[in-house]
Amino acid sequence: MKRVLLLVATNVAVMLVLSVVVSVLGLDRWLTAEGIDYGTLLVISAVFGFGGAFISLLMSKTIAKWTAGVRLIDGSEGTTEYWLVQTVKQLADKAGVGMPEVGIFEGAPNAFATGAFKDSALVAVSTGLVQGMSKEEVEAVLGHEMAHVANGDMVTLTLIQGVLNTFVFFLSRVVGMIIDKAVFRTERGTGPGYWITVMLLQFLFGILAAMIVAWFSRWREFRADRGSANLLGSPRSMIAALARLGSLQTQEMPPQLKSFGIAGGIGSLLASHPPIEARIAALQAA
């Protein structure tokens, strides 16, 4: 419930900020003079901006199970599954969150956590990770994922995406209207210039927004690494797990789960994960 209220409060705050910016710049008078209800545009922008992000968050576990082919386990399937479930339970107790669903999916080494609520998340590991790592290393990876859950990273990422989506939707249309009137000299309604500008700006603003989301995603990976070290009492196992990941061929996660995986792509402005070398160095320096 707290997260739902936070989402609503953030939505309202974004609308207020955009409204103030529009008023300070005098765009409200210009938009009104052009017969454009910018208040309605604000609401529509917020609905589209936060709506998609919020729905994705609520459906994240279902989407993850389907796209990654996750098989849920309860520990009765065998000794490995029993150990995984018990390890997750111990980590959840240490982190102060509810027991998440635990799953396994086929593929090269990787893992992820997702879910809208801390006490009903999903933590899944690949068969390649379980088979290619020692128990201490797998425990460190599970600690990393439980740190994501305890930190509420899924909700925070949704809030950031919602805020950025709202800004992209609103600003691309306001600027599109300005260019349509000033450059293309459209006198009534919106002309082709408006739609061309909106599509171009949504693409450009979208890239900038993706860079911001990727930056936060990289930052939270460092934090989850530290969280795993804290849960286990030492960074040694997490460092060993990262080193092992660096020597293994990791699996590219589906687009919907890429920012939630333990391993990511190359370091760049759009990378969801920092380079493994940087993560190891950060743990060693802590």
Show Cβ contacts of residue 106 under 8 Å, excluding neighbours closer than 6 positions: 69, 126, 127
CA atoms within 13 A on the CB side of 116: 17
Catalytic site residue 145? yes
For residues 165 and 72, give the distance between their C-alpha atoms in angstroms, rounded to a whole number. 33
| H/E segment holding residue 104 | strand 101-105
Cα 233 to Cα 124, 149, 226, 236, 282, distances in angstroms: 22, 18, 10, 9, 16
Cα 65 to Cα 29, 128, 151, 184, 281, distances in angstroms: 49, 17, 22, 49, 33
Give me the catalytic one of 145, 187, 221, 277.
145
Catalytic sites, residue numbers: 145
